[in-house]
Structure 1
Amino acid sequence: MFQQMNYSGEKIKDYELLSKQLEALSDGETNQTALLANASSLLNQFLDEVNWVGFYLSDSNELVLGPFQGLPACIRIAFGKGVCGAAFSENKTQRIADVHQFPGHIACDAASNSEIVIPITSNNEVIGVLDIDSPIYDRFDATDQEGLEKFVTQLEKHL
């Protein structure tokens, strides 16, 4: 059963708690949409200074918008295009301090200035990405990257 817990303000401990909350929300659930919807909501509630949190999922030869929190977003992104497409195609987290300097950046929300995108895998195949945007330049640091990658690893156990 999910129980709301208070965060301590210590990033590493708070990311550990976040993963525990995700596990409690996901326990026994098999519906991908429900899992991703709760995951995006949990992250949106947890993270400060973000304006979009959500998922893009592989569909044929492109990424398609999945569950998210924030303003309406781009619906389809070609593999290899923008930060999301790069993370998917390279199967590598993209932590971008200034999205306006990223070649081929897709500006779904003009207020976004930094972004982190983490690939999601199932059976050793990339199936989508977690995308988080911020209006703050250089919002995401190495601790955020590590904590969010662990969050995605926890999520992958249920997909």
Structure 2
Amino acid sequence: MKAQLYSDLLRQAQAITEGESNLIANLSNISALLYDAIDDINWLGFYLADSNEELVLGPFQGKVACVRIPFGKGVCGVGAKTQQTQCVKNVHEFEGHIACDSASNSEIVAPIVVNGKTVAVLDIDSPSIGRFDHEDAAGFQKIADFCSNLNWQK
């Protein structure tokens, strides 16, 4: 059932970005699409890599968020640095967790990699401990992989 949801969301993401070259517009619509379709989440968005190996807040849905996160710090920074999906059942047990919203208890970070370089991460938070599993991680990573095909030219 989850696999079908993520497959449907991937197709919708492809449809809403088709023919549009503006990266911010596309990431904005993708974050709105996902936030609206996924239950039991309280934040979903993108952090974009800058030239200093730091993530900077990008398009998102949810409460005010941390603006900058260094590579290797917190769940987002670890995902960016390792280029591996992070699926954290309880963020309070994650060493170095950065608490942007105290209501968040579990998190997935899916890296977006272009030509071997992390250009962004897709970050999803939930107020529920254990909200995400391997199916969620795989589904979000497929969407992140699709995002790597968007226009990342600056």
Shorter chain as normaliser: what TM range?
A: over 0.9
Letter in 2 for 1:111: A
Gaps of 5+ in 1: 1-9
Question: One-letter code of the match for 1:64?
Answer: V
Write the letter of the residue equivalent to 2:5.
D
Determine whether 1:129 maps to 2:124.
no
Per-residue CA deviation, residues 45-87 of structure 1 (Å, 9 max, x unaligned), is: 1110000000101112211000000000000011111000000
CA contact (8 A) 1:57 1:63 kept: yes
For each residue in 1:120-153, what CA deviation from the matched residue of structure 2 results, as whole angstroms up to 9, or x when unmatched? 0122211110000000001111111111111111
Tell me whether 1:54 sits opposite 2:42 in the alignment.
no
SS in 2 for 1:74: coil
Note if contact 1:29-1:158 (Cα within 8 Å) is conserved in structure 2.
no
Contact 2:75 2:86 in 1 (8 A): yes
The answer for the alignment partner of 1:17 in structure 2 is 8
Q: Secondary structure at the match of 1:54?
A: strand
Alpha-carbon distance in structure 1 between the residues aligned to 2:29 and 2:43: 14
- Partner of residue 94 from structure 2, selected from 91, 98, 102: 102
- Residue identity opposite 2:91 in structure 1: V
1:111 equivalent in structure 2: 103
The residue type equivalent to 2:10 in the other structure is S
Counterpart residue type for residue 61 of structure 2: Q
Partner of 1:80: 72
Large movers: runs of 4+ above 3 Å: none
C-alpha RMSD over aligned residues? 0.8
Q: For 2:100, what is the secondary structure of its paired residue?
A: coil
Q: How many Å separate the matches in 2 of 1:137 and 1:105?
A: 14
Q: Determine if the alignment matches structure 1 residue 30 to structure 2 residue 21.
A: yes
CA separation in 2, counterparts of 1:71 and 1:57? 18
- Scaled by the length of structure 2, the TM-score of the pair is 0.94
**Secondary structure of the residue that 1:95 maps to in structure 2?**
strand
User: Size of the alignment, in residue pairs?
Assistant: 150
- Seq. identity, %: 52
